[in-house]
Amino acid sequence: MIRTIGVIGGGQLGRMFALDAKRMGYDVITLDPQEHSPCGQVADEQIVAQYDNLAAIEDLGRRSDVVTYEFENVAIESIRHLEKHGFSVTPSSDVLRVTQNRLLEKRFARECGIPTADFAEIDRSDDLVQAAQEIGFPAILKTVRGGYDGKGQWRVDSLAAAEAAFAEAKGVQLIWERMIPFVRELSVIATRAANDDVVTYPVAENAHDHGILSMTIAPARVSEEVSTRARGMASILGRRLGIVGTYCVEFFLTADDELLVNEMAPRPHNSGHYTIDVTQCSQYEQHVRAICGLPLAQPHLYANAIMMNILGEGTGDHLAGVEDLLADPTIVLHMYGKHHAVARRKMGHFTMLINGPLDPTAIEKAHTAHAKLHWL
C-alpha cells in the first residue's frame, strides 16, 4: 500500500504534483538543496540536500513507499542507488539514462521509426567540420546533457561560429542539430501505467521566447490527422521506453506536415499545466495514479485553454497587476512561491479558459492579460 510519495526536486513541477497528491490523501516528502522550495512549501516535509547526496537519497527512499523525480537532470547514480537498495522508484534509471541525453534520445526515437532533425555527435573540433559538411547550416549546437529552458544552446550559421560555441562549451559533449524551419511547435503529454495502459492529452501548441516556453495553446491548431499521429507517436515512445508515469514529447511540425521529435521529458511538463484547469484529471494527478498503481483517467477537455508563463524580470520581487488580471473570471492564476523574481525565472503562470475558438482574438486577449503584469 502506498502512503508516502518521495519527490526528488522541489521546483514548481514537484509543487503542482504534490498539491494533487495531497488532495488524493498521500503524504509527500521532497528532497531539494534549497530550503523552503516551491514543493517543500506544500509537501509534508522537505529533506534539504543535494540531488547526488546518496545518504540523503537513501533516507528519502526509506521513508517513502515510492520515489519519483520532477526533472531529468537529477544524478542518475541517485536513481540507480535507490534501485540497488530495493526502493521503489519511477521512472526507472533506464528511462532516465535515455531521456537525459539528447543523443540517446534522438537515436531511440529513430529506432522506434519516428523521425527527428538530422543530428551529429560532437566530441572533438574535427567533428564540427564533418557535421558542417554532412548536416550543414543553419544549425543549433546543444550540450548533450544538462540543458533546459534553452540553456546550453548555440545557434550557428558558420563553421567559425560553431568553433566559437565549441570553445565556449569547454569540452562537454555536444549535439549538432539541423535548424528546422517549423510551422508549429507541438507537445503531447502522456501517461503510461505499469500495465501498459497509455493515455494522451490533446496536442498542445507552444510558443517559445529565447528558448523558454512563453505560451501554450490547447488544443493545438492542427488537423485531426496531425493530432492523431502525434498522440500515436507519443504512445509508441512511452511504451517502447517502458516509462511508468507522466511524460512529454516535443515535436516540430514542418510545412509539409511532417512531425519530428525534438525531445522527451520523463515527467510532467510546462506545456501540460493547462490540464490542471480544463480537464478532470491533470497531468500531475495522472502521474500520481500511474506511480501508485491506480487506473489512469481518459482526459476530457472542459474548455479550450491558453497558458501564459509569468517570468521574472530582475526588476523586483513584487508582482503588480494581479488585481487587474483577476478581474477577468476566465483567468486562473498559479504562483510557485519563489521569493526572488530573477530575470527569466519561471515564477508562475496563468491559464485563460476559452469557451470559443482559439482564434487571433483569443490569443490577443491572453497577451493583453499578460501585459497587465510586471515586477516591482
Ligand X SMILES: Nc1ncnc2c1ncn2[C@@H]1O[C@H](COP(=O)(O)OP(=O)(O)O)[C@@H](O)[C@H]1O
Largest CA distance in the chain: 58
For ligand X, which stretch binds (CB under 6 A), given 176-184, 220-228, 307-315, 365-373?
176-184
Nearest CB to ligand X, comparing residues 178 and 338 = 178
- Chain position carrying cell 542518475: 76
Among 262, 275, 309, 351, indicate the residue that binds ligand X (CB under 6 A): 262
107-126 positions binding ligand X, by CB under 6 A: 117
For ligand X, which stretch binds (CB under 6 A), given 142-150, 165-173, 215-223, 301-309?
142-150
For ligand X, which stretch binds (CB under 6 A), given 12-20, 172-180, 216-224, 332-340?
172-180
CB of 116 to ligand X, least distance (A): 9
Residue 286 φ/ψ, nearest 5 degrees: -60, -35
CB of 213 to ligand X, least distance (A): 7
Nearest CB to ligand X, comparing residues 183 and 194 = 183
Q: Is 156 in the site for ligand X (CB under 6 A)?
A: no
Q: Is 149 in the site for ligand X (CB under 6 A)?
A: yes
Q: Which residues pair with 89 in a beta bridge?
A: 67
Among 33, 115, 146, 150, indicate the residue that binds ligand X (CB under 6 A): 150
Bond preceding residue 299 cis, omega within 30 of 0 = no
Among 95, 180, 199, 215, indicate the residue that binds ligand X (CB under 6 A): 180
200-219 positions binding ligand X, by CB under 6 A: 208, 211
Burial 162-172 (b: 16+ CB within 10 A, else e): beebbeebeee
Nearest CB to ligand X, comparing residues 279 and 283 = 283
Nearest CB to ligand X, comparing residues 27 and 263 = 263
Q: Is 146 in the site for ligand X (CB under 6 A)?
A: no
CB of 135 to ligand X, least distance (A): 10
- Quote the CA–CA distance of 100 and 109 in Å, as a whole number: 14
Among 33, 115, 146, 147, indicate the residue that binds ligand X (CB under 6 A): 147
Q: Is 148 in the site for ligand X (CB under 6 A)?
A: yes
- Quote the CA–CA distance of 240 and 294 in Å, as a whole number: 21
Residues 6+ apart with CB under 8 A from 154: 140, 141, 142, 161, 162, 164, 165, 168, 169
Among 32, 70, 105, 250, indicate the residue that binds ligand X (CB under 6 A): 250
CB of 210 to ligand X, least distance (A): 9
Among 20, 263, 277, 285, indicate the residue that binds ligand X (CB under 6 A): 263
CB of 75 to ligand X, least distance (A): 18
Among 20, 70, 72, 177, indicate the residue that binds ligand X (CB under 6 A): 177
CB of 341 to ligand X, least distance (A): 20
Q: Which residues bind ligand X (CB under 6 A)?
A: 117, 140, 147-150, 177, 179-180, 185, 208, 211, 250, 262-263
